[in-house]
Amino acid sequence: MNTISDTLKAKSVLISDGAWGTFLAAKGLRAGECPELWNVDRPDDVLDVARSYVEAGADMIMTNSFGGSRFKLEHFGLAARAAELNEAAAAISRRAAGPDRHVLASIGPTGKILMTGEVSEKALYEAFGEQAAALEKGGADACVVETMAAIDEACLAIRAARDRTDLDVLCTFTFNALPDGSYRTMMGVSPSETVSAALDAGAAIVGTNCGQGPAGMVGIVREMRAAAGPDVPIIVQPNAGLPKLEDGKNVFPETPEGMAKYVPDLIDAGANILGGCCGTGPDHIRAIAAAARNATGLSL
């Protein structure tokens, strides 16, 4: 099938999906349970998440594999099943996506910090390579190295995916707003630094996800667009704001309409792929897709 970049040439804006973690939690995934194990133990529930995003109008469906590296699975004693769980994740999303939509496989951080010496570059590279290969085998056509904070870890993941697979590789980082109005990841890197590092490592598309809500994403996308030049597609997947506790449950403040309001500004800042992260659901994606249609005047 076409790469996401090729699809983008035909349609100026594409829609990605929303949250998986909060969605699975609503379906009964308990805190402390391994989400990726559901790909094998409760595949119908995972398929249901994927399908609801297809129905909401997403052009690309992600996978339930954010914590699918062997370093994360190790916490649950499941490191040896990394390939199996990732392959199953991609197969479920491909079933929902069909042949025409993209399956954008999720590769999240390992939780290890290279500079502390707790893990070697080789071990991280191997783990990411194993995960990416399994996701491709399961039917993904692209992967997103996502929610990254450290450039060294992200670049190892990009290289591993490029070396081991034919997947289209995307990369997103998560930023916080500083009091001076600039943005940095937890490890202190700026949006423009992440763009040049990710492109150097071989990413085809760069962007930002998670974070503090849609408002701050406009400035981040603008900085990324300036660093990436005019031709590199940019993906943006904000949280539905920061959660608030109501009656013992977390409620994300941004409504679908509230998030959709930011779509014209995000497109104007340079975003090409729009979706959501924590706290967003099919209704958010539906509203974002509608707003993107209005903003671009195209039928997406």
In the complex with another protein, the residue whose CB is nearer, 203 or 278, is: 278
Q: Are 18 and 276 in contact (CB under 8 A)?
A: yes
Q: Are 252 and 211 in contact (CB under 8 A)?
A: no
Single-letter amino acid code for the residue at 284: H
Q: Is 170 helix (H, G, I), strand (E, B) or coil?
A: strand
In the complex with another protein, the residue whose CB is nearer, 123 or 187, is: 187
Q: How many residues contact another protein, by CB under 8 A?
A: 32
Contacts of residue 270, defined as CB under 8 A and 6 or more positions apart, other chains included, come to 221, 222, 224, 225, 228, 234
Positive or negative, the CA dihedral 153, 156, 16, 195 is positive
Least separation in angstroms between residue 291's CB and another protein is 25
Rule CB under 8 A: choose which of 2, 9, 75, 163 binds another protein. Answer: 75
Rule CB under 8 A: choose which of 40, 242, 290, 300 binds another protein. Answer: 242
Residue 245 in contact with another protein, rule: CB under 8 A:
yes
In the complex with another protein, the residue whose CB is nearer, 176 or 294, is: 176
Residue 77 in contact with another protein, rule: CB under 8 A:
no
Angle, vertex CA 19, rays to CA 237 and CA 34, nearest 5: 130
In the complex with another protein, the residue whose CB is nearer, 14 or 150, is: 150
Least separation in angstroms between residue 240's CB and another protein is 10
**Contacts to another protein from residues 15-74, by CB under 8 A:** 21-22, 25, 29-33, 72
**Contacts to another protein from residues 142-201, by CB under 8 A:** 149, 178-180, 184, 186-188
**Class of residue 137 by CB neighbours under 10 A (exposed 0-12, middle 13-18, buried 19+):** middle
First to last CA, the chain: 18
If we measure between CA atoms, which residue out of 168, 126, 34 comes closest to residue 89? 34
Rule CB under 8 A: choose which of 170, 278, 287, 291 binds another protein. Answer: 278
> Footprint of another protein on this chain (CB under 8 A)?
21-22, 25, 29-33, 72, 75, 111, 113, 115-116, 149, 178-180, 184, 186-188, 242-245, 248-250, 252, 278-279
